[in-house]
Amino acid sequence: MLDMKFLRENPDVVKQNIKNKFQDDKLPLVDEVIDLDAKARKAKQDADALRSERNKYSKQIGGLMAQGKKEEAEEMKKKVTAESERLAELEALESELNEKVKKIMMTIPNIIDPSVPIGKDDSENVEVERFGEPKVPDFEIPYHTEIMEKLNGIDLDSARKVAGNGFYYLMGDIARLHSAVISYARDFMIDRGFTYCVPPFMIRSEVVTGVMSFAEMDAMMYKIEGEDLYLIGTSEHSMIGKFIDTIIPEEQLPLTLTSYSPCFRKEKGAHGLEERGVYRIHQFEKQEMIVVCEPEDAMEWYNKLWKNTVDLFRSLDIPVRTLECCSGDLADLKVKSVDVEAWSPRQKKYFEVGSCSNLGDAQARRLKIRVNGKNGKHLANTLNNTVVAPPRMLIAFLENNLNADGSVNIPVALRPYMGGKEVIGR
């Protein structure tokens, strides 16, 4: 969410940013919110003036009563009563106008970084760099669920009976591999200085609206009926929410956390969930990383975060590339974002396995996450990045480590988490 003062003083900058994100339908909102804000501030000024006058009358009433001038005091009391009624009207108007301002401000996109490429959608994202040599073996690679099924590692039919499409049972060595990847990712991030955390898997609505846009909320979040609770779509939500309404001493920054959680997503707007695949699903597990830092350090941390994911995948012999998200592909709160994509030998192309985002002070403004520094209090900056998210990551892992006989090699780094196994399936 933008600073209202910034929008008021830079309406053309905000409008150009909206155009850069190809959200022209939001352009009228800029002038509308400026007008509403002016009316809200006028209502506040009038209310403040009335309060001052009412206080003055109240003191005069006391003096008149002391002098025995009861009739004059009663007349003065009538004025106070009338002004109290008007004050109540102004306070209600101010509150109503501020609520309208807030609602609009929650839909106006954050100012993107100047380095972000301008484009309408993800088809115009820009490849930045490749890591590792993509290879295609001289044997046919089956669809990922076929690989798992041959290893007795997945049961989609039973899951469909129990919960419907978008769910799965992982079994045996595949289930163990799934847990091994999560555990390895946890230790990988701890070794890089991040504090491990297991957060709440449900959050209140004030946290949901603090960490994401209304559009994202509608497309992703599951609401708990009858309670002010939502299932998290990623642990970033509850991890950033951890700092709601806090003032952090600057000497404690940066805060670097890595968190494990299950994740739940409606996937509303998706082109339909695959019946046989585990790429787009309602439930999965993920290791995440978040940073709360000073504004001037945000871009440095942004580059550190996505490199962590690249390094993890390369340690498991999986080729990856980074893809810069264009303006039209950025969620409204994001300043800059890059996707990490893994190589699929079967498809002979890369596919997304993680996303790193710099959100500037957008989440901090909504959640009131402030820093107490030598020059006073100011908003923190927040960032997040996927460390690893199986089972999607398992697709890349299985395809890149598959042997012609259907067995799967276990990279050296992962073997301690697999009981020393070097291969599964033989």
Domain endpoint, select from 105, 135, 168: 105
Report the pLDDT value the prediction gives residue 61, as an integer from 0 to 100: 66
pLDDT at 59 over 70: no
Q: Are residues 181 and 269 in the same domain?
A: yes
Whether residue 110 is contained in a domain is answered as no
Report the pLDDT value the prediction gives residue 188, as an integer from 0 to 100: 98
Domain count within the chain:
2
pLDDT in tens, 112-148: 999 999 999 999 999 999 999 999 999 999 999 999 9
Q: Are residues 89 and 134 in the same domain?
A: no
Q: Are residues 94 and 220 in the same domain?
A: no
Helix/strand/coil (H/E/C) assignment for every residue in the chain: CCCHHHHHHCHHHHHHHHHHCCCHHHHHHHHHHHHHHHHHHHHHHHHHHHHHHHHHHHHHHHHHHHCCCHHHHHHHHHHHHHHHHHHHHHHHHHHHHHHHHHHHHCCCCCCCCCCCCCCCCHHHCEEEEEECCCCCCCCCCCCHHHHHHHCCCEEHHHHHHHHCCCCCEECHHHHHHHHHHHHHHHHHHHHCCCEEECCCCEECHHHHHHHCCHHHHHHHCEECCCCCCEECCCHHHHHHHCCCCEEEEHHHCCEEEEEEEEEECCCCCCCCCCCCCCCCCCEEEEEEEEEEECHHHHHHHHHHHHHHHHHHHHHCCCCEEEEECCHHHCCCCCCEEEEEEEEECCCCEEEEEEEEEECCCHHHHHHCEEEEECCEEEECEEEEEEEECCCHHHHHHHHHHECCCCCEECCHHHHHHHCCCCEECC
Q: Are residues 101 and 195 in the same domain?
A: no
CATH of the domain at 173: 3.30.930.10
Report the pLDDT value the prediction gives residue 64, as an integer from 0 to 100: 63
Domain endpoint, select from 105, 135, 150: 105
Whether residue 372 is contained in a domain is answered as yes
Whether residue 62 is contained in a domain is answered as yes
pLDDT at 234 over 70: yes
Q: Are residues 395 and 303 in the same domain?
A: yes
Q: Are residues 316 and 373 in the same domain?
A: yes
pLDDT at 83 over 80: no
Q: Are residues 278 and 330 in the same domain?
A: yes
Q: Are residues 173 and 96 in the same domain?
A: no
Domain membership of residue 379 as a residue range: 122-424
Q: Are residues 391 and 263 in the same domain?
A: yes
Q: Are residues 234 and 331 in the same domain?
A: yes
pTM: 0.90
Q: Are residues 186 and 129 in the same domain?
A: yes
Whether residue 115 is contained in a domain is answered as no
pLDDT in tens, 273-320: 455 788 888 999 999 999 999 999 999 999 999 999 999 999 999 999
